[in-house]
Amino acid sequence: MSSEFGKILRISVFGQSHGRAVGVNIDGLPAGEKIDLEELQRFLDRRRPGRSPLSTARRETDMPEFLSGLEDGETCGAPLCAVIWNSDQHSSDYAELRDKPRPGHADYTAAVKWDGHADMRGGGHFSGRLTAPLCIAGGIAKQILARRGIRVGAHLASVEQVQDIPFPPRPTGELFAALAAKPFPVLDDGAGEAMQAAILAAKNDLDSVGGVIECAAVGLPAGLGDPMFDGVENRLAAALFGIPAVKGVEFGEGFAAARLRGSENNDPFAVENGRIAAVTNHAGGVLGGISTGMPIVLRAAVKPTPSIGRPQKTVSLSRGENAELTIHGRHDPCIAHRAVPVVEAVTAAVLLDLLLEGNHGTF
């Protein structure tokens, strides 16, 4: 287990889906930062389920309780620990699953790794519920970044075959705020309706769909990140692959860059209002691992929810023979839209860590 990331800002996530609580310990937060708890709660509510037919009926209030590090609404330098108490679990739903690993879930690998001792009720520590404490950390990071003019936002770029329009070359904090206020986080609401239709179609087929999330950050200064293996891309990718179901991460043009020519993919530099900037941003704000000062742009691919209502082929671990499994209980036909704030959260946490480390290229 290494449910931690970060260099100066260390974020440790704990808890199991059906345990006593899920939570996060954040070590290295700067002191004296006011945290707006209502704003934080609004951020947490964006990933909360139970609000639409698109997600599970599990009622999670996701209200954090702060055990340390926050006094009178302000960070105090000491590690900040916050928990969300669990409730409303239906653990009996998961009895059969101890023996029959669900395809696409970590049940089998967890069984191998912890030799049958893992608490896998509701997915245990692998559950999407662990993204709630990640959002506590990320929501706090977002507030601290915003105070320095750095804004992070994301939208659902695609679901199954349906595509949203991409971010404009220079997204703004206002655009991010507008997205955050939408019940379904897309730039083109028509595409959003088509996505929701695709999700419901999958649900009706007792199936599920995946999606791609595009995230951007504006206002980050140039010069952050250390090549070759401690750069902006290395750190973001390492953290983003920690979000359950993420199977791909790309920056700027990403995989599409492999189909472009150099003359198309290179970003010319120009002097704008006395400052040097790239005219385009195919690089997604990173060259040689170091931030260029342009928006950081990344995409994360989220696979379709492995829990589906159809019978699936698996094995019985105890009997060592083939078996069939039908997953009962609640599960989302798509988690990509709920993962949008999670990608924002992880991105914000990594960028705050980079900002705290600073540019020590000279001194």
Q: Under rule CB under 8 A, which residues in 215-254 are in contact with a second copy? A: 222-223, 226-231, 233-235, 237-239, 241-244, 247-254
Pick the closest to residue 250 from 304, 300, 295 (CA basis): 300
Output the CA angle 343-167-349, nearest 5 degrees: 25
Can you tell me whether residue 164 is helix, strand or coil? coil
Q: Which is nearer to a second copy, 184 or 251 (CB)?
A: 251
Neighbours of 117 (CB within 10 A): 9
Q: Least distance (Å) from a second copy to the CB of residue 41?
A: 18
Q: Do residues 215 and 180 make contact, with C-beta atoms less than 8 angstroms apart? A: no
Nearer to a second copy, 139 or 231 (CB): 231
CB of 179 vs a second copy, minimal distance in Å? 19
How is residue 7 written in tokens?
């260099």
Given 41, 50, 79, 93, the residue binding a second copy (CB under 8 A): 79
Coil vs helix vs strand at 275: strand
- The Cα–Cα gap between 201 and 244 comes to 23
- Residue closer to a second copy, measured from CB, 42 or 310: 310
Nearer to a second copy by Cβ, of 111 and 172: the residue is 111
- Identity of the residue, 92 or 181, whose beta carbon is nearer to a second copy in the bound complex: 92
> Where do we find the tokens 């078996």?
323
Give yes or no for a cis peptide into 294 (omega within 30° of 0). Answer: no
| 313 contributes a contact to a second copy by CB under 8 A | yes
Q: Name 80's Cβ contacts closer than 8 Å, sequence gap at least 6.
A: 25, 26, 29, 66, 68, 69, 70, 140
- Contacting residue, 66, 98, 146, 200, with a second copy by CB under 8 A: 66
Q: Binding of a second copy at residue 196 (CB under 8 A)? A: no
Q: Which stretch binds a second copy (CB under 8 A): 41-49, 56-64, 98-106, 180-188?
A: 98-106
| Total number of residues that touch a second copy (CB under 8 A) | 155
Q: How far apart are CA 24 and CA 200, in angstroms?
A: 33
273 binds a second copy (CB under 8 A): no
Q: H/E element holding 290?
A: strand 290-291
Q: Which is nearer to a second copy, 60 or 267 (CB)?
A: 267
Terminal C-alpha separation, the chain: 37
- Residue 211 identity: G
Beta carbons within 10 angstroms of residue 87's beta carbon? 10
Per-residue contact track with a second copy, 156 to 195, x per CB under 8 A? --xxxx----------------------------------
**149 Rama sector, left if φ>0, alpha if ψ -120 to 50, beta otherwise:** left
Applying CB under 8 A, which of residues 260, 318, 326, 328 lies at the interface with a second copy? 260
Determine, following the binding rule CB under 8 A, whether residue 59 of this chain makes contact with a second copy.
no
Nearer to a second copy, 244 or 341 (CB): 244
Q: Is position 302 an interface residue for a second copy (rule: CB under 8 A)? A: yes
Stretch that binds a second copy, among 166-174, 175-183, 189-197, 284-292 (CB under 8 A): 284-292
Q: What angle do CA 194, 48, 336 make, to 5 degrees?
A: 40
Nearest to 212 by CA among 239, 178, 246: 246
Choose between 177 and 276: whose C-beta lies nearer to a second copy: 276
Nearest to 266 by CA among 249, 285, 251, 280: 280
- Residue of the chain from 57, 63, 112, 165 that contacts a second copy (CB under 8 A): 112
Question: Footprint of a second copy on residues 114-153 (CB under 8 A)?
Answer: 114-119, 124-126, 130
Site stretch for a second copy (CB under 8 A), options 41-49, 165-173, 186-194, 309-317:
309-317
Using the minimum distance from each CB to a second copy, give the nearer residue, 178 or 270.
270
Please give the residues from 39 up to 58 whose contact with a second copy meets the rule CB under 8 A.
Answer: none
Contact 94, 84 (CB under 8 A): no
